[in-house]
Amino acid sequence: MNIYKNNKIQEFLQRFESRRQEVSTDVEHSVRHILQNVRENGDQAVMDYTKKFDGVDLSALTVRQEELQQAHENIDPELLDVLRQARQNIQKYHEKSLPQSWMSWEDDNVILGQRVTPIQHVGIYVPGGLAAYPSSLLMGVVPAQVAGVKDIYVTTPCAKDGSMNQTILAGAFELGVTQVYRMGGAQAIAAMAFGTETVGRVDKIVGPGNIYVATAKKLLYGQCGIDMVAGPSEVLIIADDSATPEFIAADLLAQAEHDPLASSILVTDSKKLAKSVADEVEIQMDALPRSDIMQQAVRDYGGIIVTGSLTLCAELSNRLAPEHLGLHVDDPWTLLGQIKNAGAIFLGHYSPEAVGDYWAGPNHVLPTNGSARFFSPLRTEDFLKVSSIVSYTQAALDKQGKNIEKFAKNEGLDAHATAITKRMSS
């Protein structure tokens, strides 16, 4: 793993930020064609793309209830218990941020407030490319259920032999999800956004995916809601001399195994630690099964940056706005005050990112590509919408009507002003 100092730091940062460039015109053109075809031809278009891209000839998109139940019956009981405990942790965490409706009684019997209601139909995309992720099923479905979403649709791609990940199916049954579809890619996003003969049209789509999935979500925003436009996974660790090189290397490689485009970065004020971590990364990587993916990710978008202080480390982190941020320092709570941009922050030597991916409770669907500057993790609030409540009385309108009328006329909207005037007593 390369170490960058002094004037080499800027060179590395530019290469890292190159991942944030606009989607190629070829990808966008391809996705637009897929969206249009699915809109016009429904199920048949989805099945045609599944055969073209995945080599699977489907006769139906729906996963039958019997398949879900059988997967649930056959799952390792210990793994099922793990899923249940993880679900409880995720549910407890997301219940804490559940917003409430409220009303406020003002002067002249004016009532103002907000009414919080769940989105009715939500699509959850569960990735299944280089690996399948039952954890993403939990992270999408559980907060939607906490919010009170009525209809939850889950879509996940099948393997090359047409089989489905049995843990995902068992997890769906455990969660009570009955509408599961064997489809992936941009065609799955299109099917949920437009609706087909089999797949119901949804109001919002959430969940991570590859560049085609992300592009489809971006292009369909407005047709339905989306959570965010996700990019390649990333982790940034800030560490000082109190850190353990083995822990840091393990966390860096945990992110690098996702994807060749994943980024794993260490920023430290210790030259000694930098060298130790670089050596440890090579040792651990050679012993792991996905080392080919890790090697490419570490080579292209990974690196160790040595700065003069932890304050400079925090400044670099804020610039990159990482998806995952680990604070492997002696006093992480003090350093936390300097952090402005991060999707999820893991404090201390014993809070690895994997705890957040599977177990702790916060969502692992996080902003990437620097979008933590303006996006938040997937939350209960993402499955809710707010309606403003306004109730005025005759007395209140009489008192404020002239001001409203003046405002409307200033904007050249005389009909707006007239709507006020006609209601006033004098």
Q: Which residues contact 244 (CB under 8 A, 6 or more apart)?
A: 328, 349
Tokens at residue 25, please?
């015109």
Query: For residue 204, what are the contacts with CB-CB under 8 A and spacing of at least 6?
Result: 119, 121, 122, 123, 224, 225, 226, 227, 382, 383
pLDDT, tens only, 278-305: 999 999 999 998 889 999 999 988 999 9
Per-residue confidence (pLDDT) for residue 13, from 0 to 100: 87
Q: What is the pLDDT of residues 240-284, one digit of tens each?
A: 999 999 999 999 999 999 888 889 999 999 999 999 999 999 999
Residue tagged active-site, from 94, 121, 324, 349: 324
State residue 22's pLDDT score. Answer: 58
Q: How many whole angstroms separate alpha carbon 255 and alpha carbon 333? A: 24
Please enumerate in sequence order all residues whose Cβ is within 8 A of that of 422, keeping only pairs 6 or more positions apart, or say none.
none
Q: What pLDDT score was predicted for residue 131? A: 67
**Domains of the chain: which residue ranges?**
25-226, 232-374, 393-421
As a whole number of angstroms, the distance between CA 211 and CA 153 comes to: 21
- Give residue 96's pLDDT: 95
Cβ–Cβ under 8 Å, residues 207 and 227: yes
**What does pLDDT average to over the chain?**
94
The string of pLDDT tens digits covering residues 50-93 is: 999 988 999 899 999 999 999 999 999 999 999 999 999 999 99
Give mean pLDDT, residues 147-152: 96
Which DSSP string corresponds to 340-409? ---SEEEESTT--HHHHHHTSSS-S----TTGGGT-----GGGGEEEEEEEE--HHHHHHHHHHHHHHHH
Q: Please check whether residue 326 is in contact with residue 349, taking contact to mean a CB–CB distance below 8 angstroms.
A: no
CB 146 within 8 A of CB 94: yes
Quick check: 124 and 349 in contact, CB under 8 A?
A: no
Residue 259: its pLDDT value, please? 84
Active site annotation includes 349: no
**DSSP H or E run through 38:** helix 25-54
Active site residue 324: yes
The active-site residue out of 323, 328, 364, 405 is: 323
Using CB atoms within 10 Å of the CB of residue 361, give its burial: 0 to 12 exposed, 13 to 18 middle, 19+ buried: middle
| Angstrom distance (rounded) from CA 353 to CA 265 | 13
Same fold, 25-226 and 232-374: yes
Q: Which CATH architecture has domain 232-374?
A: 3-Layer(aba) Sandwich (3.40)
Right CATH number for 25-226 from 3.40.50.720, 3.40.50.1980, 3.10.300.10, 3.40.50.1000?
3.40.50.1980
Give the pair of three-digit tokens for residue 258: 């996702």
* 419: Cβ contacts below 8 Å, ≥ 6 apart: none
Buried b (16+ CB within 10 A) or exposed e, 12-31: bbeebeebeeebeeeebeeb
Q: Percent of the chain at pLDDT above 70? A: 98
pLDDT tens-digit series, residues 150-174: 999 999 999 888 889 999 999 999 9
The number of helix segments (H) and strand segments (E) in the chain equals: 16, 14
